[in-house]
Amino acid sequence: GAVVSQHPSWVICKSGTSVKIECRSLDFQATTMFWYRQFPKQSLMLMATSNEGSKATYEQGVEKDKFLINHASLTLSTLTVTSAHPEDSSFYICSARELAENIQYFGAGTRLSVL
Amino acid sequence: GNSVTQMEGPVTLSEEAFLTINCTYTATGYPSLFWYVQYPGEGLQLLLKATKADDKGSNKGFEATYRKETTSFHLEKGSVQVSDSAVYFCALSPRGGSEKLVFGKGTKLTVNP
């Protein structure tokens, strides 16, 4: 299957700083990528849909100014958590949609801890 | 609307036991159906999929059949191993419309030696 690389896998930052997470599709082009947040022992919550060359589409209740998404190329989307606070600590997972198969392939996730 | 309902866990089995995790769905149109697996501390991996009624997805000894008449996609494995311990998510992808995946809540499986 296709491979999606997510980096970093784990990040610790101080409150008030910004953190950037990268999501790359390694062997296919992805016009659409997705960003999810997962709380402990819960399912994935879709945060936003990232569209190459256009603005991201955010789910209701997700602050677009706090979670900045950029999808500048067909293989890379980034999520920047701006002015992070402890309540932003979570597991963030990206996925990329392989168009021909209509399958989403997932990155390994990023664990963010905000002190 | 679209939704996925999975049996609640956790599920605890002994090695070599038979596994069933139930999944039913509600969807408009004809969705594609998926099972994803998440090992501790990792992201989701596609386990198997089915794109139309009566399709059977299979991988690593796991199977699931797309049953349109019962709107179900139950996951089964004849003999589980300790290494199968993980969280399993059932999901659907609507056809011809939204690209978003709709996930069930996940079922945690623990297999004891």
Q: B14-38: string of b/e by CB count within 10 Å (b at 16+)?
A: eeeeebebbbbbebeeebbbbbbbb
The shortest C-alpha distance from A67 to chain B (Å) reads 19
CA nearest to A2 within chain B: B46
- What is the rounded distance in angstroms from the CA atom of residue A70 to the CA atom of residue A52? 8
Q: What is the mean pLDDT of chain A?
A: 92
| Residue % of chain B over a pLDDT of 90 | 73
The answer on pLDDT for B97 being more than 50 is no
How much is the average pLDDT of A23-43? 89
Q: Does A60 touch chain B (CB under 8 A)?
A: no
CB within 8 Å: B46 and A34: no
CA distances from B86 to A105, A112, B7, B9, B20 (A): 18, 21, 15, 11, 14
3-state secondary structure of B78: coil
The per-residue pLDDT for A59 is 93
Give tens-digit pLDDT for B45-95. Answer: 999 999 889 999 999 999 999 999 999 999 999 999 999 999 999 999 887
